[in-house]
Structure 1
Amino acid sequence: MTSLVEVVVIATIAGCATGLGALPTLVTDRVSHRVYDGALGLAGGIMVGAAVFALVLPGLELGTPLEVVAGVLLGGAFLLVTNAVLPHLHLWFRDDRLEGTTVLEPVGGNSGSDPSPTTVRRGETDDTDGRADSEDDLRRAALVGSAVTIHNVPEGLAVGIAFASGETALGLAIATAIAVQNVPDGFAIAVPAARAGLSRSKTLLYTTLSGGVPEPIAAAAGFALVAVVTGLFPIAAGFAAGAMIAVVFRELVPSSHGHGYADTATATFVLGFAIMLIVDTTLAV
């Protein structure tokens, strides 16, 4: 039988896969609106797919629809309350300033009215509007990060429960599926964080911690308290699903439809949902 230490190590590796999603932000600080909107759409589709296939359906298998629905409603309410208390996130930063705010700059210095060629550049300070946009991006990153962190708790519990039941192969399959899911989840956190001007090192660190901390803790709890945790899983899974769905429709969808590339964002959303369908069915999680 797999030991508690082994379960924690496996869950930690799966959780830290969120950091892989931040790697593209280390390569470039110029992201076109089309790419940015498409990335948000892709992340939104994957998050909704993860909510449905990795949380709601497993929750229904271990509990009643009422328990899952209650969790979904609580999760959605939690996200909206969290959004309400994060409007002044910039006050947490030194000198009442972010590490760098962003401006929209035409490629090649074009100053025309066509918004198509604009790019988002990290670490440049503009006027009040630029700072407001940067603060909004940081708040968005915090909301997505909190939803992803919450989402990792029931998935960590699932890993611990699977290993505690003696199903080592199932535990490894779940951990692998989680690791795959966590990469685009990390990207969903990193893109708005990088756009807000957060340094590359902090973007990578915070993105990695969003999965690397809750995942092993929850897996250890699920492994050690399998009887108790199994009863709580349906509500916990519903809660995480509700938070993820709420952040997608509160933040990612509106943000990806504001620059004239709604069709691109919609197409990538559908693609992200399809990716999660393939991942979960292929890995039988």
Structure 2
Amino acid sequence: MAWFERLDPILQALLAGGFTWGVTAVGAASVFLTRSMNRRLLDVMLGFAAGVMIAASFWSLLLPAIELSRELGGTGWGPALVGFLLGGVALRLGDLWLPHLHPGLAMDQAEGVKTLWKRTTLLVLAITLHNIPEGLAVGVAFGAAESGMEAASLSAAIALAVGIGLQNLPEGIAVAMPLRGEGTGRFQAFWCGQLSAVVEPVAAVLGAAAVMVVRPLLPYALAFAAGAMIYVVVEELVPESQQHGNDDLATLGTMAGFAVMMVLDVSLG
């Protein structure tokens, strides 16, 4: 791991974003093995992803944002509050303006500006929109580690990238598998599934660069990513995991995901 520590933070963020994108591609590649997936298993995996994101939002983003604000002479809670709320508002505006369709819904339930775009495009855009804060979170974490401040560390940034990578696996499946079930070819279903996360390396680089250039942005940026991720969990992952009658299993998956991410962050960070 020493070689990774010597890399420029921008390159670290790019590699970490590439890793999370790659895990999404692994999930999407499941279409080459089967045409459908057990709904219970998928709901547990979506619940697990929700738990990871909730834990990452607190342990890896909000808590460091509060501590960084205090190190910079701030109130602690102020930048965290502002950034958190702005993150949720940003995702809400994206939901209002960007045409997209959540997996498992009919075309007449598409959100955003009305369009004649195909179902495939709308499905990819839904996950892409919600992958932006994940990439941003990874990038900001690596940029924060470069600051040398006590509240941020490289190991914590790596733990965050690993956690987001874990929760990207079911997201890749959730996009690619329904398309395959509707008759889409294996390669096209895989392509669409992995394409939904291609934005993560880009967002990671932009996030790292922004906080390295403007250091006082750090607590706001960390909290912004947390707010956006919590919005995704409440608006998409939890409802999707519990709309097929597997509520208890999905909830247990959420608990497991939270526990895994908490252990990752506390032990590595």
**Under TM normalisation by the shorter chain, which class is it?**
0.7 to 0.9
Matches within 5 A, 1:180-219: 180-197=162-179, 199-207=189-197, 209-219=198-208
Aligned to 2:141: 158
Aligned to 1:237: 222
Change (3 A) 1:56 1:137: farther
Q: Distance in 1 between matches of 2:210 and 2:109?
A: 40
Aligned to 1:249: 234
Give identity over the alignment, percent. Answer: 30
Q: Distance in 1 between matches of 2:195 and 2:173?
A: 14
Partner amino acid, structure 2, of 1:187: L
Q: Distance in 2 between matches of 1:137 and 1:191?
A: 14
TM, length-normalised to structure 2: 0.76
Change (3 A) 1:142 1:185: farther
**Among candidates 13, 16, 24, match of residue 14 of structure 1:** 16
Structure 1 position 200, deviation (Å)? 0.5
Partner amino acid, structure 1, of 2:138: E
Aligned to 2:29: 26
Q: Residues 101-130 of structure 1, C-alpha deviation per residue, up to 9 Å, x if partnerless?
A: 98xxxxxxxxxxxxxxxxxxxxxxxxxx86
Partner amino acid, structure 2, of 1:58: P
Matches within 5 A, 1:40-119: 40-63=46-69, 64-86=76-98, 88-89=99-100
Q: Residues 22-44 of structure 1, C-alpha deviation per residue, up to 9 Å, x if partnerless?
A: 31331333112111211111111
| SS across alignment from 1:30 | coil
Whether the 8 Å contact between 2:176 and 2:192 is mirrored in structure 1 is no
Aligned to 2:128: 145
Q: Distance in 2 between matches of 1:159 and 1:260?
A: 39
Moved more, 268-277 or 134-143: 134-143
Partner amino acid, structure 2, of 1:82: G
Whether the 8 Å contact between 1:72 and 1:243 is mirrored in structure 2 is yes
Whether the 8 Å contact between 1:141 and 1:189 is mirrored in structure 2 is no
Structure 1 position 182, deviation (Å)? 2.6
Whether the 8 Å contact between 2:48 and 2:257 is mirrored in structure 1 is yes
Unpaired segments ≥5 residues, structure 1? 91-100, 103-128
Aligned to 1:95: none
Partner amino acid, structure 1, of 2:134: H
Larger Rg: 1
Change (3 A) 1:160 1:238: closer
Whether the 8 Å contact between 1:158 and 1:222 is mirrored in structure 2 is no
| SS across alignment from 2:37 | strand
Q: Distance in 1 between matches of 2:229 and 2:170?
A: 11
Pair 1:277-2:266 in alignment: no
Q: Distance in 2 between matches of 1:199 and 1:213?
A: 22
Structure 1 position 85, deviation (Å)? 2.5
Q: Distance in 2 between matches of 1:138 and 1:202?
A: 8
Q: Distance in 2 between matches of 1:217 and 1:5?
A: 17
Whether the 8 Å contact between 1:174 and 1:283 is mirrored in structure 2 is yes
